[in-house]
Amino acid sequence: MELAQALQVQSRVVYALILRETRSRYGNSKLGFFWALFEPFAHIAVFMTIFSALGRAIPIGDSMGVFILTGIAPWLLFNNIVTGIMGGVDGNRPLLGYPQVMPMDTMIARILLESSTIIIIFLLFMGLALNFGFTIEIDDVLMMMSSAGILVVLAAGVGMINAAIKLYYPSYATIYSAFSRPFYFMSGIFFTADFLSPEVLGLIDFNPILHMVEWFRSGFYRSFNSEFYDINYVITTTLIIFIIGLMAERATRKRARQI
């Protein structure tokens, strides 16, 4: 009975935090949601311009824009959740004075908000692609959902670890931002794994995001079935990082309230 009441209180707190985040981000200005739409559009436009200038063929399907979207959406899902969790405590500092609001609640709220935002944007872009006459025949929705779901768990783990480090070293957010930039180019946003030479692929196959992008695209395209991604590696890596993240959040919970 006490557990049920505690879960009920937490669900209300998380819901209130989501409403607060949504209003502060999108409610006060239309630019907030415009930027959420503009960011993936900018990535797609830049890469389409580059590839058109180079005369590069579309790796999969009949639309370079859709191909890049199937890479940029998983990347933004991961990156936005990580950065959102890192800023969750600072962004909700006044509320942490209430005993009902825990640091984990701010993280859960941001995970749900960032995930739903990326899903909505992805669906909007799919609708635009269909409106412009591109053929979209999704092969396996469950496969796409599985890869995206595990990617969310991985991002949550990385985010919790980063948030814990940031409590002791506030400048770590800048360091992480610089460290994560190479992963943008190693995560399969604008290429498939079979496009790379074995030597290059051997240097980046440790990146679980690349595995999940390949997994996501294998579910999206009927004409594509990647032999690169390793589900066991992805799940094992994700669980290890997520458990470490939970331990880090637990160990720094008191400090998060004090600062």
Question: CA 219 to CA 221: how far, in whole Å?
Answer: 6
Run of H or E including 151: helix 141-168
Hey, how many other C-beta atoms are within 10 angstroms of the C-beta on 42?
A: 12
Helix (H, G, I), strand (E, B) or coil at 227: coil
**pLDDT by residue, tens only, the chain of 259 residues:** 566 777 787 888 888 888 888 887 776 655 666 777 787 888 888 888 888 777 778 888 888 889 999 999 999 999 999 999 998 887 777 777 777 888 888 899 999 999 999 999 999 989 888 888 777 888 899 999 999 999 999 999 999 999 999 999 989 989 999 989 999 999 999 899 988 888 888 889 999 999 999 999 999 998 898 989 999 999 999 999 999 999 999 999 888 777 6
Query: Which residue, 105, 85, 102, 99, is CA-closest to 17?
Result: 105
- Would you tell me the crossing angle of helices 208-220 and 64-86 to the nearest 10 degrees? 140
Residue 235 near residue 150, CB atoms below 8 Å: yes
Largest CA distance in the chain: 64
* pTM, full prediction: 0.91
